Amino acid sequence: MSQELTRMLDTLTKDIAGAKVTLKRARRMRIDVDADALPALLELLQGRGSYVHLSAISCVDWIDDNQFELVYHVWSYESNSLVSAHTRIPRDPGVYLSIYDLYKPAAFFERDIHEMFGLYFEGSPSMEKFILTEWEGPPPMRKDFDAEAWVRDTFTERDYNPEWLKELTDAGGGIAIRPQDIRK
C-alpha cells in the first residue's frame, strides 16, 4: 500500500521541479519542495491526490542557515495517509504566500506562525495578534529571542536558603548544577 502511495505521489509531483518524495513510515510521506512550487504542489495534492485536510502548518527556525522551514501536514481520508510538505524560505525578509485560498484553516495556523515567528503571509485574511494579545516584545519562538535573558530582566528570583539546606550544601550536597551554569 505504501509503495503504491509513493508511486502515486511520484507521478503526481512529476511536473513539479525539485519535488522529492520520501517514505518515512507506512502511510507517512515527506515531500521536499522549493518555496515557489509549494502552492502548486498543495493544489495538486488537494485536487488530484485527495489530501483535503490540512492538519497543521509548523515552522522551524534554522538560525544557522538563516532560513525558516515551513511544514504543511495534509491528510487524506481516502488513503488514510499523511503527507508533510517541507519547504525553506529565507529568514530575511520572512515573507511567504498564504495558502488560504486552498485550505481555509490555514488562516488560523498562519496567524499563529506570524505571531510566534514574525513570518508574514501575503494574502492571509488576518495577521492581527492572536493569543499573545498583550505581548509587545519580539516574536518569542524565534531563536534569536533569549527568553531566559528576558526573564532575568523582568523577574527576580526567589531566594531560598533555609537552615536545613545549609547543612546539606556544606556536606557537598544540594543543587548540583545551578541554572546559570547550565548556560555556559
Partner 1 sequence: MIKDIPIIAEQAQQPRRTNPLAHVFDELMNFARSRSLFMLHYCTGCGAIELPPAMTSRFDMERLGIQPMVTPRQADILLVTGYVSIKTLKRIILTYEQMGSPKHVIGICSCTVNGGMYWQSYATAKKLDEYLPVDLYIAGCMPRPEAVISGLQKLIDNIKHGKSDNWKDYYQRYDHYLGNQQHLFGNNWQTPTDVIGEAREYGLFGPQTLGQHTELLESVQKPLQPLEMKL
Q: Which residues bind partner 1 (CB under 8 A)?
A: 132-137, 140, 145, 147-148, 150-151, 154-158, 160, 162, 164, 179
Task: Judge whether 88 and 71 are in contact, CB under 8 Å.
Answer: no
- Of residues 125 and 138, the one with the C-beta less far from partner 1: 138
For the bound state, the minimum distance from the C-beta of residue 184 to partner 1, rounded and expressed in Å, comes to: 15
Other C-beta atoms lying within 10 Å of the C-beta of residue 150: 13
Among positive and negative, which fits the CA dihedral 38, 43, 48, 54? positive
Question: Could you please report the per-residue DSSP string of 142-173?
Answer: STTS-HHHHHHHH--PPP---HHHHHHHHTT-
Within 13 Å, how many C-alpha atoms sit on residue 6's CB side? Answer: 14
For the bound state, the minimum distance from the C-beta of residue 173 to partner 1, rounded and expressed in Å, comes to: 13
> To which H or E segment does residue 182 belong?
helix 179-182
- Of residues 105 and 140, the one with the C-beta less far from partner 1: 140
Smallest Cα–Cα separation from 50: which of 14, 19, 76?
Answer: 76
For the bound state, the minimum distance from the C-beta of residue 65 to partner 1, rounded and expressed in Å, comes to: 24
- Of residues 43 and 148, the one with the C-beta less far from partner 1: 148
For the bound state, the minimum distance from the C-beta of residue 140 to partner 1, rounded and expressed in Å, comes to: 5
- Of residues 3 and 156, the one with the C-beta less far from partner 1: 156
* Angle at alpha carbon of residue 108, lines to 37 and 127, rounded to 5°: 85
> To which H or E segment does residue 55 belong?
strand 53-62
Smallest Cα–Cα separation from 84: which of 99, 98, 74?
Answer: 74
- Of residues 155 and 176, the one with the C-beta less far from partner 1: 155
For the bound state, the minimum distance from the C-beta of residue 132 to partner 1, rounded and expressed in Å, comes to: 8
- Of residues 122 and 159, the one with the C-beta less far from partner 1: 159
For the bound state, the minimum distance from the C-beta of residue 56 to partner 1, rounded and expressed in Å, comes to: 21
